[in-house]
Structure formats: structure tokens, C-alpha cells
Chain A
Amino acid sequence: MAGNNVYEESPEEDTQRDKYLIFSLGRQFYGIEIEYVTEIIGLQPIAGIPDLPEYIKGIINLRGKIIPVMDVRLRFRMEPQPYNDRTCVIVIDILDEILGLIVESVSEVLPIPPEEIVPAPDSPGSGRFVTRIGKTAHGVKLLLDCAKLLRDAEPERPGNAIQPNE
């Protein structure tokens, strides 16, 4: 198996296992599992849609595909920040849904072995998105549960189990 070559774009899980895309919000660094990430793009013009939760900024055109974008800061109930040229959209594909995450900046892809990961304390509030904490040489990264970002955003089925197809 071509598992050793990290430069090869291979769908093999081996190349993606234990790798996290690290992005920053404020001073904190967050990580999401790389297997969900399809690409990272610059901020695109967003078409707003009324009556959506405020953290869903609207929809963007990703090469012909229309995807919703979520401001992760607002999702975490942080103060909104104006977008700048470092603002990125991380496109994730999860539960058959493609979603753009607006983050302040993307820093790197880091391998974090399982033994360096500890479960996050079960604190109320925004803690529910961060399920694990990864320890690296350059500090601690909060690892997100992508499915949760998506799940609770569906106002019609709050907190319900997700049906992967529709």
C-alpha cells in the first residue's frame, strides 16, 4: 500500500489517519480530522439567505457547486470579527453534506498520534464541539467533532440523530 508517501493524493485511509488540519480562532488553535477536509479556499462572495441561524452566513459557489458556509467563530458564540485576507474557508465533506467553515486562518496539517490525545472535559456550553484535546510540541490543539458542527445547525431537528441521506 502506498501509505508512506504523504505527497501522494491517495484515498487510502492510512495517509490520512491521525492527521489534523489546524486552524486558528483568536489565540486558540483547533484541529479537525483531515479525512473530512476536501479543500481550503479563500473567502468567496457569500449570498445571504434570510431566517437562517446567524452562524450560517449563506451560500457560496464552489466551482459550480452551491455550498453553505458557516462562520465558526459565531458557531462558538464568539464575537464576530471582520473578515480579512487571511480569512479562509475550509471545505469539509461530512455525512454527505458539503459545508464551508469560515475560519480566521489555517496554519498547518499536523500528525497527532492517538496516545497524545485526551478526551475533553465535559463542560457545558461551547465545550460540546470540542471532544478531544491533542498535545503537540507547539502547544495544545482543540480537536473538533465535525458532525456536531453540522448536526445542531439543523433547526428543524434539534439535537436529533442524523440521517446520512437527507
Chain B
Amino acid sequence: MSGSFPEESLLELFIFETLQSLQQLEDSILASEQQDSLKVEDINLIFRIMHTIKGSAAVMGYTNISALAHAMEDLFFYLRDHPKAPYDCSELSDLILQGIDFTKLETIKIRNGDPADGDASALADELAAYLQYLKNRSASEAAERDADAAKLQHSAGMRQAADAGAAGTSCYRALLRFEETCQLENIRAFTVIHRLDETLDCTFTFQPEDIIENPDSADVIRRDGFVIVLETAVRREVIADFLRNAPYVSVMELEQLQERPSAIQHLTPLMQETEQPLHTNELAARMPDFTLQTAGGKKPKESGNFPPAHQTMISVNVAKMDKLMDLIGELVIAETMVTQNPDLAAVSGTLDNFSKAARQLRKISAEMQDVVMSLRMVPLAATFHKMGRIVRDMTRKLNKEATLVILGEETEVDKNIIEHLSDPLMHLVRNALDHGIEPPEERLTAGKPRSGTVTLEAKHSGGDVMVMIRDDGKGLHRDKIVRRALENGLLTRDERELSDKEIFKLIFHPGFSTKDSVSEFSGRGVGMDVVVKDLEQVGGTATVDSVPGAGSTVTLRIPLTLAIVDAMNVGVGDSRFSLPTASIVRSFRPNAKDLLLDPHGNEWIMVRGGCYPVLRLHHLSGTARSTASIEEGILIMVEDEGRSLCLLADELLGQQQVVVKALPDYIQNSAGSKHFAGCTLLGDGSISLILDVIRLTSAMNTAAISY
């Protein structure tokens, strides 16, 4: 369907914006569904988003997306003008979510270079049908209400208005006051009139009449207000809402007129009076022709002007950010080269002024580095909220009840990591719902609340971020897992030797699934191993905890950022290594007598009663070096998940925050890179390799289960 071949960057922008808008749309739909009603802001937002998508898709030549967006826009155009339309929130959400899904799918197709060939006409028809249905129902309801209103007026013994209900139209008089600072009141008034004409089906007159021709009318409006008398079948609330939300309107008073004024002149004396709305009652007494019904007049404008929040954000290409970060890194290095330049030593006298200036420079560049780092950090909120949709869809299809609780969504993680986190989270949430949460009846029998809870929680822990997916479902069955593992030949050791944690870890094994029946969502044995694979790409790990009957928790541990790590730099010969500070337990000078040698030549060391493997970092420096005496070096004990390892280095160089850079692809593809999580540049411009402690410890300690 993509008839044209648009410019690449334009296409990129379209895809980016569309996906972002769709996410926003989905969030607001889900939020409204929870409250079972659409707020005016939501309707406006949805309308706006659909309008944008419609336009941009049409420009890009994706007619199917544009057609569907058009149908959705129509629906919300109607809802916007008829906020009391008798829509069913859940039905409506279903329709819109279907539309979102379709558009998302097509957009992803476009991103992948496939033709966007989906057919949305069925869905568009459904939307149109729903719109028609709403229109019919609301028309009949409005008629009913009008009849009711007429009856009410009769019984209240009010002045008979023979024509009020009969023709279905009523007469209103509205007094508008604009914000004091808005200026050009006549133009504002004209805008209101213009919009009124466009959006509402009505006839009207207004005072002062010469708002366009006569600039002085601005003063009149400022002093006396702007009066519109209109006759329409549209319900009162709609008019009130429309006028109140018109731009710059600060005060709006709406009253229903029992008798149609033959000319607007009748109203002019009224205007002076209504300057103080307090007098309205008095006014009604004096003017028996009017029945006064103030429509909650003094509400400040609410959604007429959208908060400009979205305009304070810009999206930037990640490549540019990376470039900026590289440059800052360079700047810091260059600064060190200047401030510690050997030539300075040759200068006689003190360098007071120089040092002062250098300090200032260092302060600024450090601050700059912090800011650039923080630019890359994105809160987890968006990723977490995406899960709301999954919970909604799955609970419906599985006939389960569950709510999603989100904690710590403000936790920030590096942009790169977020991208790798979305899929694992999705799998885990699905699993929690499918395998964890029981059907409502079962839950009630077990003495649990009918509705299950899936909790997503994020928090900082040392240099890492922990993300926990917790459910209060039935938990994991150790025996079942063991049985399945035996069937698949996954157990290499006697199960009695294994801790619960180790047994639970088996569910991350590829091809492992204990669910007896395969459901639409999970149970095919793919998924959990994908979780681990995705996580490993960003240096994360997953562990499972479970209490039978009480639920299970999957804990993901991911580095806070791929970009910056608090590290200890150590020197080995000419080489430099960096160790994440979070994993260091202690460092100490070893005694040669504590060193043990096993028959295979592996070195161990006894430390405070414990025995730990030793890795000489010289072996990792790429340069062959004769084995130095262990007493001349320093041992650094590192730990990950209870597994420890001692690294032998020549010296500790100090602790600092280092910018992590990936090793070149070229190197990463070779075996040699497996010990390293990346590299970094030190202050003098030299390269330091960042050791991958997780991998080193697990390689040096024989793992119970290999996966």
C-alpha cells in the first residue's frame, strides 16, 4: 500500500511519532477504562492523536492507517461534542485498542521495510457502526430528556413556555468574560463565534455586534462582557462546556430563556447588572421574563488550552547522544592533559591563578559529564505501563482477575537497557498471569482475594537496578519442576543436592515448560529462556523465588547503566583493568603460605577460613608475563550471587566513575572479549578493560546447572 517512497528520515520520524502517540493513546484508554469513563481531556487527546496519525499516514501514503484513523477520529469527534453520549467504556476501549493494535502492527511492518498491507476496512466499518449506534441512542435519549425537562417545568409551576419542548430547541443567553490579560477581546469573541458556528448546530446573535469592524468593541467587551443569544437543539451542558472551554474565557454564565427574545436589545440593560454575578437572583426577580439557571459559571478554563508540557520535550537521535558523550569523555581527558601538563613543572613560581582556573574548569566539566549521563537515563514508567495492556488482555481471555501494581516506576535506567528490558518483562508478566494467578474460584477456595495481584517493582540496589515481578498466585512446584527436568534430561546432579533457587532456575532453561496444556500466551516452553538471553545481553541476571500457594517473584538484576559504572581501577604490568565497585568485597595483601595449588594447576587461596579460586589478571592482559610472586601483588575479592573469586593485580589505582564503552564488534566476536564487559578511558587517555565479574565468577566456580 505504500505507494510512494518517502525520504528515509521522514519515514523514521513518522514511525517514531506514530509509535509514541499510540503508546500515549493506549495508556489513556487503559486509564479511562479503569475509571469507566472518558474524561474530556482524554477524548481531546485521543481525537488529537488520531487526527495527527491520520494526517501523517496520508502524507506518507499509508492509506489503510489513515482510513482507520479517520474512522476513529470521527467517533471521537462525536464524543467530544457529545460528552454525555451513552457509550459503553469497555466496548469503546475494545474498539479503540483494536485500532491501536492494527496501526501499531502496520507501523512495525513499515519499520521492518515490509509493505503495510493490512486491511482495516472491517474495523473501520465497525467503528462507523458504533458511531451510528451512539448517535441514534443519544438522539432518542436527548428527546426523552427534553420531554422530562418540559414536564418538570410544568410541575414547578413556572411560566408556561408553550414552544420550549415542542420544537426541541431552546434558547440560551450566554455571558462571556475573557481573561484580563488576553487583549484583543473582540478577536477572541470572534473566535468563539466562529467555532460555535462550526461545531454546534445552532442559530445565534451576539452583542456587541461590530466585533470585527470596530476595534473599540474590545473595550466594550472588557467592560460589559460578550453576550451570545443562541437557539439550538443541543443540550445545555454541551453548550456550557463548549463556551467554558473556549480559549481565554475566564467567566461564563449561561441561562436558559423561556421566551425567545424578538430582538437582542432586550438584553442590553441586563448586561450592566450581570457584572456582579452575585446579583443574579435579584435580577431574576426584577426580570420576570427570564428564568435564571446559572451553569456553574465561574469555572476556570480546564482543557481548552492544553498544557504545553509536550512542547518542553524533544527527541534526539541516540547516536548524537553517544557522540556527545564521547566528546565529553574526550574533554575530560584533554583537561587532564592540560592541567597536569609536564611543561607546568618547568614554570618557576607558583601557579595559584592557574590552579584556580583549572579547578573551575574541572568543576564545570564534571557537571557537564553528569548532565550528559543523565540525558541517557529514562524512567521505567513507560515500560511498566505497557504491561497494563497485557494484564488487561490476558485476564479477559483467561477469565482471570488480576490487577497490576506498579512500584518505583520513576527508577531510571539507561536507554539501551530499557530496550532490552521490555521483552523479558512482557514474558514474565504473561507467565505470572498464565501460570501464577489462579482462576477466581480457585483463589476464593484458597482463601485469597478473588482478584490476583501482579506487582512490578523497580529499585536501586548498589550499582544495579532490581526489577521484581511478583504475583500472589499458586507459586512454583519444586517437585513438578524436578520431574519435568528429569524427563528432559536437564538435571546433571542429584536433585536433593540442589537448593530451591537452583531448581527454580531450571525454568529458564530453553525448552522447559511445566504447563501441561499450551495456551495462547505461554506454555510452549519458549519465553523464559528468552528472558535470560535478553537480560544477558545487557549484563543482567534473573532469579526466581517462590512459596507454594503464596506466589512467586522473579527478580531481574540489571546494571543501572551501560554507560557509567563506579569502578576500581587496578594496574597489572602496563595494563589497566576496572572492576565494578559494587562487586568488590575486599582487597588484601596475600601470604604465600595461604596459596594452594590443585592437581590441575589451579590456584586457590585460604582467606579467613574460606577457600577461594585465584585468577591472575596477568593472564588477561594479553601479554605473556612471568609469574610474579603472589606476595608482591594485591588480591581483590569479588563476589556475585554468593560466588567469590580473588583477582591478583599489581596495584590499586583508585576508584572513579568510568564511562563504559563497548568493545569494537570486531573484538567482541572473538573469544578474548568474554572476560570483559567493555572498556573505558582513564584520565590519561589510556584504555582500561572492565572485567565482567559475573562471568568470571561463574566460570571459575563450577556451576551446578549449565544453561
Contact = CB atoms under 8 A, between A and B. Distances in A.
A40 B171 CA distance: 84
A48 B621 contact: yes
B669 A154 contact: yes
Interface stretch (B180-188, B407-415, B672-680): B672-680
Interface of B, helix, strand, loop or mixed by DSSP: mixed
B686 interface: yes
A61 interface: yes
A66 B670 contact: no
A124 interface: no
A49 to B, nearest CB: 5
Interface string B650-689: 0000000000011111110111110110010100011111
A31 interface: no
Interface in A81-105: 97-99
Interface stretch (B127-135, B322-330, B381-389, B453-461): B322-330
A50 B326 contact: no
Nearest to B620: A50
A61 B681 contact: yes
Nearest to B326: A64
A6 to B, nearest CB: 29
Contacts of B329: 64
Contact of A52 (B330, B575, B661, B667): B667
Interface string A151-165: 001111100000000
Given A48-B623, A64-B681, A66-B661, A153 B686 contact: no
Contact of B663 (A48, A66, A98): A66
Contacts of A60: 687
Contacts of A157: 669
Nearest to A150: B666
Given A59-B687, A154-B666, A49 B676 contact: yes
Contacts of A59: 663-664, 667, 679, 687
B39 interface: no
Contact of B687 (A61, A63, A150, A153): A61
Contacts of A98: 664
A98 B667 CA distance: 11
B327 A47 contact: no
B664 A49 contact: no
Contacts of B688: 47
Given A49-B622, A50-B619, A59-B664, A64 B670 contact: no
- Chain B, interface size: which category? 20 to 34
A116 B694 CA distance: 56
Given A47-B576, A61-B681, A63-B330, A97 B666 contact: yes
A68 interface: yes
A53 B670 contact: yes
Contacts of B670: 51-53, 56, 154-156
Contacts of A61: 681, 685-687
**Which of B666, B669, B676 is packed against the most chain A CB atoms within 10 Å?**
B666
A20 to B, nearest CB: 24
Contacts of B330: 63-64
A74 to B, nearest CB: 14
Contacts of A138: none
A47 B333 CA distance: 17
A52 B670 CA distance: 7
Interface string B162-180: 0000000000000000000
A45 interface: yes
Contacts of B662: 66
Contacts of B686: 45, 47, 61
Nearest to B327: A64
Contact of B672 (A50, A65, A97, A99): A50
A59 B403 CA distance: 51
A91 to B, nearest CB: 12
B689 to A, nearest CB: 6
A66 B679 contact: yes
A67 interface: yes
A66 B686 CA distance: 11
A166 interface: yes
Contacts of A67: 664
A58 B574 CA distance: 13
8 contacts: A49-B673, A52-B667, A59-B667, A64-B327, A64-B330, A66-B664, A66-B679, A97-B664
Interface of A: 45, 47-53, 56, 58-61, 63-68, 97-99, 150, 153-157, 166
Given A48-B575, A59-B663, 12 more contacts: A45-B687, A47-B686, A50-B620, A52-B672, A63-B326, A64-B329, A64-B681, A66-B662, A66-B679, A68-B664, A154-B669, A154-B670
> Which 3 pairs of residues, A with B, have the shortest CB-CB distance?
A48-B622, A51-B672, A47-B687
